[in-house]
Each structure stands twice: as C-alpha cells, then as structure tokens.
Structure 1
Amino acid sequence: MRIIGVEVAGGAPVFTGTLSHGADPHRIAWELGFRIIRPLSATGSAPDLSLTVQVSRHGRDATLQPPRTRAVDPGLDLSDGTEPVVRQRLAAYGIVLSSRGLLATQFSDRTAVPGLWGLPGGGIDPGESPSQALLREVGEEAGQEPDISQLIDVQTDHWIGRAPNRVVEDFHAVRIIYAATCPEPTDPVVHDQGGTTAAAAWLPIGQWMRVPWSSGARTLLERHLRTLTRTVPAEG
C-alpha cells in the first residue's frame, strides 16, 4: 500500500512512501518531517491501495523517536527455531451508527480474543476497495446496509503470534477506518456462520463502555465516537 502526503486536500504530494511490512504511516510521515493531520482517501483495490493523508511539517528531530518493536504473544515459545510466516493484512472497519445506537460485533472462539467486542469489518479481498470491503463485511457480520460518510483513521499493529489455524505468524495488521450511518437499522443477524464473528448488536451510545472491547476498537471509539454521535438521529 502506498502512503501519499499532501499539505492541502487536492494539492501536490510532498512525499510518497510504501507501507512495508511492519511499518506505520504515522511514523513514515514523521521520519520525513511531517505529522499526519487526518486521512483523506483510500483509493484503488487490494493489494494496490493508495492512502492519501493530509500532513503538516513538524520541524522536530525525527531521529528522537524510539525504535518500533514487534509485540510477541505471551507464552509463545520460538526456541525451537520456528520461523514465523510473514503476513500483512489490509482491512476495513467502520464506526457504524444509527437511531438504535452503535453497531458492534463479538469475536468468536476462532480468534485470539473470544468474547470481546469490536467494530464490524474485516480483510479486503483482492480486487476490492476498502469501502467495498466494509459494506460486504457489515452485511456478512450483522445483516446491515450502511452508508459510508467519511474516512476517519488508519490503525496498524505488528506482532508475532498464532493465527486461528495455529500457524505462527509475523503479523502486520493495517486497518482503514470509516464512519458510517445505517438509515434503516434492523435486528443484527450474523450471516457468516462459523467465522470470526459470534454475535452482533446495536449498543445504546450511552452504554457502549459497559461491554469488554478489544484494545484497538476501544481506542478508536474513545477518539471518534463523541464527535460522530452529533451527526446521527437520537436513539428511540
């Protein structure tokens, strides 16, 4: 995936970089002398995606940042010489709101965090755009038909651990995050049975913190939910 930095929307690029395995777009921009203000667009289809971000010059010493390290799942023993399989996964997720609240999906026991809740979404299939992937995943995981309003964030994680199939992976997750609304919310139904989603539900906005969230989803909700709830109908 390419990262393109512009100082004004529609302006000429001030840098273009490649999001290599384990890289973070915020760090790439910082080391080139810029800070990311906000993402502007995610275009193209997987795996040839381009993420355009608005940036500003920070004027600081980019060498002062500590080196970025990979997390390793607790209890994982690599002393037998196991070489992790390198995998970068591009995915799209959404903070989906409606008059019924916030759409949430619960992780199944096929994941490393069964029982925790997250945002609907998932991997971007080859030839698919991030927005297409989000609409497909929300339909599969919750049976809803949202309208995407804007791109709001990009999130990355890098760790070594076991995949659901027990393969040890050097895993780089790249998540493109959208805001969306559902004009005609219905009772959520998980159509992708036997997958990574155990359940889906509309959570009242005022009660979203009462359920256990994955760390990445909680970070995104704490950052964006207050602003986004000003643009949706009141719960009824």
Structure 2
Amino acid sequence: MMPPLRILLAEDEAVTRLAARALLERAGHRVVTAEDGPAAVSAAAAAFDAFDLILMDLELPGLPGDEAVRAIRLQPNGRAPRILMLTASATADGQMRCVGCGADGVLTKPLRLESLAAALGSGPQAAPSPAEPPSAGPAFEEAAIATMREMLPAARVAELIDKTAAALRQHGDALEEALRTGNRRTAATMAHRIAGVSGQYGCLALRRTARALEAGLEDGACADLPQRIGASSAALAPALEFLERCAAAARG
C-alpha cells in the first residue's frame, strides 16, 4: 500500500478529473487539481515543495502537458516532485511526447491505484511500444463502477456517471461533425477524449475503438479508417446504455 501522498492532478476532462480525485482521496492522498497547463505550472510554482507527485495529462488546453512538464522542470525553487504523465493516446507521437519531456514515467488511462503504485515503485520508464490498440476483449469492466460504489456515496456515483454519459454524447457529436467536415485534427482530439473518459468508467469496447480511431486519424495512410470510424460509432450507444444502467443501480 502506498503511503499518503500530496498530489497535483492536472486533468481538463471534468468527469475524469472528478473520478480520479475521488479515487485518490479515498485512498488517503491529498489532492490539488488543475484544469489546464498554465494552471498546473502555476500550482507547481506556488507550492513547489508541497507536492510529492504530479499527475499530468498529456492533452491539456492552454499548454500541453509535455510542455507544462518542461516548464515545471525549469523552475529553480526547491526540489522537483516526481511527475507521471497520464494519457489515453495510442499513437507513437503521443507516447514519445510523454517520455521525451522530462517526466519520470507514463500511466495509461484510466488511472488505477495498482498501476500508480507500480509506477512509483519503479525507476524512470522507457517509451512503451506504440502497438496497435487491441481489437478484442470484454465490452465493459463492471469492476470500475463497483470500485466507485465502494469508495463513494451512491448518489455521488450516480451523478458522476450521468455527467460521464453527457460528456460522451457531447464528444460523440463533436467527433461526428469533425468527420463530416473532414477536420481530422479535431476528430482525433475527440476520439482521444472519448477514449480517456470511457476507460475511466469501464466502457472498454468504446475505449478500444476510440483509441484505434485516434491512431487511424493520425496515420494519413490508414487503409481501414472507414471501418474504424464505424466501429467507434457503433460502440457509443451500448456504452451509454451501460452507463444508464449503472446510474440506475447506484440510485437503487
């Protein structure tokens, strides 16, 4: 078991940030949050010695997470806290950005306490192999919601799940519009956001298809991009139904 830590959590996606903070706090850690890159750098500068660990999302507004890490590493005031990158990216570029910015390691979303403990117990991590996202596996992870129900009041769990479903609908609409207009950059960003949110709340099939779509959109020569688009679209409705069932069960 990890000793209590003072953690700065930089994550712009509200439902992911709320779930990760709840998980960390119920495990005994003290958590300060930042919603964008400049806020993360400012928080680290204002209380540099106050943090044992910084968890930094790669894709932050205002200043990307890798650039925020570089800015924090340049700060002269006090010891440098340990920094772990958080990412849902399945692309080689995303992985290399994580390990090339001066961070001490990389955690793949969703955040899990056992993964965090393992990362803190190891030395600096090398770049993971940018393999293709797996195409098969369970559609849902009931344990992800079960863990939340064990650690949080039922009403809070239902609220978080409802917000997650709303965020996924919004991101799905934005993804569809970006694909319709041929805006691959925005579409890749939306796929990345969907992957991050869905994984935290146990929607594994949607996470897999969104990660595959993100990787395909980043690859200009991806031959099966239409199939990846179709798979991601098809996985959204079942994920929303799963979340609705979980929210109803939490309400009793």
Scaled by the length of structure 1, the TM-score of the pair is: 0.23
Task: Report 1 or 2 for greater relative contact order, CA contacts < 8 Å, sequence distance ≥ 6.
Answer: 1
> Which has more helix, going by share of residues?
2
TM-score, normalised to structure 2, is 0.22
Name the one with the larger strand percent: 1
